[in-house]
Each structure stands twice: as structure tokens, then as C-alpha cells.
Amino acid sequence: MAVFTRVTDADITAWLADYSLGTLQGLQGIPSGIENTNYFVTTSNGRFVLTLFEKLTADELPFYLNLMAHLARHGIPCPAPMADRHNRFLGELNDKPACIVSRLHGKSILQPTVANCAAVGAMLAQLHVAGQSFGEQMANPRGPAWRAQAATAVAPFLPPDAAKLLREEVALHAHNNPGDLPQGVIHADLFRDNVLMDGERVGGLIDFYFACNDALLYDVAITVNDWCAGANSTPDATRTRALLRAYHAVRPFSAAEAAAWPGMLRLAALRFWLSRLYDLHLPRDGELVNAHDPAHFERILRQHIANKNPVWL
């Protein structure tokens, strides 16, 4: 989340006239992240989050908003889109598609405990189960074609050894088809800053705008690579096992998923190494934008390559 498009009190007051959310009491830009413009909005009726979409179009957005509404109805603590007086989730503000959603309880944590990781694993599995009844489809926009394009764009900025690693990993995963693994709706970005912890329980899952249909195990690998990374980006075995076992208790892993686990960890690390390289070397103009260090995921990827038998159940 970030601020690319300025919204004033007058802008949001006029926009809120189409909603039954009360009168504006406060507006605050949210500085973290890199994809959309986000503000905390406080009204006389409650606390909300306003999002203006900088990349996604009005045609693409119904999938994400309908998914969040579906998951919220099925007990997943995710932002619930607010409908306007015409029963529409999506509007337009300052020439950008925009929506307003419920603001959840809890806060992101930087140093997760074993219990935190177990709670996140169980909640991710619950999300995957709830997503099975969601009827809409969205292909993964960060799939093989994107990886090839992004790698070509960032390679000139890399030292030779890193560029070689990038080419080899992109080529490797271009020929691996996870289509035989259990599929469904995935969050695809369930990092620590996209989970709000309320004590030892998950208070909210946020930022669903990378959600898509893909292998469920890929979502697990993305989550493990962030939540279970220890010192020097080294995977923490205790936290990893806790997350996987809690997930498995809700949605049991298949034998095929167990076999695919080492490669899936590498694919998940590659995806975020690539996107962070792109954001660092080819950034968009914007305010309050924090680019993340791509070296972290390069280290994670190299460790997964070196470790042929990563922690499993």
C-alpha cells in the first residue's frame, strides 16, 4: 500500500456522499507498499480503508472485490467492501477506480512467534477452503510470461552471477507445470505486513489485489518464505513446521504437494526477487513509496537451491 494519488478532505467528503457511512472525521495516507494509493478513513460510523487503484482497471477489479465479499461472508477476517447507494462496490475518485472497505483489528508484526506462524498457517488453509466455492476465475498475472518479461527487463542491472542465476531459474520454472497440484483461489502476497495479528489470533488478512487462481501450495510457499525466514534470510525450521502442520490440520497436503515442495519454495522466492528487482530498478513516480530490498529474496532462493530437503511436516 502507498500514496500515489493525492486525496483531500474535500475530495473524500464529496465521494462519501454516495455512501451511508457517516460524515468524515479523519483522513490519513498509508505510506507502506508499492501498488495502490491507500488512506485510512474515519467517519462518524466507523473506521475504513480507501483504495485508489493505480494499475488495475475497472474491468479487472470486480474479481478482487467479489472475492473479498465472498470470503468475509464465509468467516475469513478480510476487508469487506462497502457498497454505495446504488449497491456498487467500485466507484471512481480523482480519475482512478476506487473502493472503500472495512478496517480490521490488529497490527502487523515484524518478529513472528511459533504460535503466530501456526495461526497464519491455519488461517491460510481456511481461506483456501472457503475459496473453493468462489465461482469467478483469475489467471495468475505473475506467471511464466511475466517472469520472462521481468527477467529480461532487470537483467542489465545485475552482476553476471546474479543475472545467470535469474536466467536459469526462469528457464527451470518455465518448464514446470504445477497444474496437477490442488488448485484454487490464492492470496499470493500473504507477507507479515498483510496479516493483522490480534494477540495470538489472526485479526485480519489484507491486500488481496494479487489474488488469483493457482496451485494452493504456491501460496503456502510464499507465506513460509516470509513468515519463517530467520537470521540472514535462513528458513527457521521450528516456525516452518508449525505453519505447515497447522495448515495440514485444516486442508491436508497431498503426496504430490509434498514432492513438489522444494521446487515451489524456489518458485515463490524467484517471484518476489523478480518483483523487487523491478520495483528497485524500474520504479514508478509516486509519493511515500518504499521499495523493498531484492537481495533478501535472492538469498532465500540461493538457500533453497542449496537445500535439497527443506523442512516439511
Q: What is the residue extent of each domain of the chain?
A: 9-102, 114-306
Interval 234-245 mean pLDDT? 96
Q: 3-state SS of the chain: helix, strand, coil percent to 5? A: 45, 20, 35
Tell me the C-alpha distance between 304 and 39, whole Å.
37
Interval 14-41 mean pLDDT? 91
pLDDT score at 33 = 55
Superfamily of domain 9-102: Phosphorylase Kinase; domain 1 (3.30.200.20)
pLDDT: which is higher, 284 or 128? 128
Q: Report the amino acid identity of residue 224.
A: V
pLDDT score at 313 = 93
Interval 38-43 mean pLDDT? 96
pLDDT score at 13 = 97
Interval 27-51 mean pLDDT? 90
Split at pLDDT 50, 70, 90, the class of 1 is very low
> Hey, which residues does 89 pair with through a beta bridge?
none
Reported pTM: 0.93
Among 26-40, 226-240, 259-273, the minimum mean pLDDT is found in 26-40
Task: Kindly tell me if the per-residue pLDDT of 24 is higher than 70.
Answer: yes
Cβ count near 106 (within 10 Å): 16
Task: Kindly tell me if the per-residue pLDDT of 287 is higher than 90.
Answer: no
Superfamily of domain 114-306: Aminoglycoside phosphotransferase (APH), C-terminal lobe (3.90.1200.10)
Split at pLDDT 50, 70, 90, the class of 288 is very low
Reading the block at residue 46, the C-alpha cell is 466507523
* Residue pair 99/39 in contact by the 8 Å Cβ criterion: no
Q: Read off the DSSP letter of residue 31.
A: -
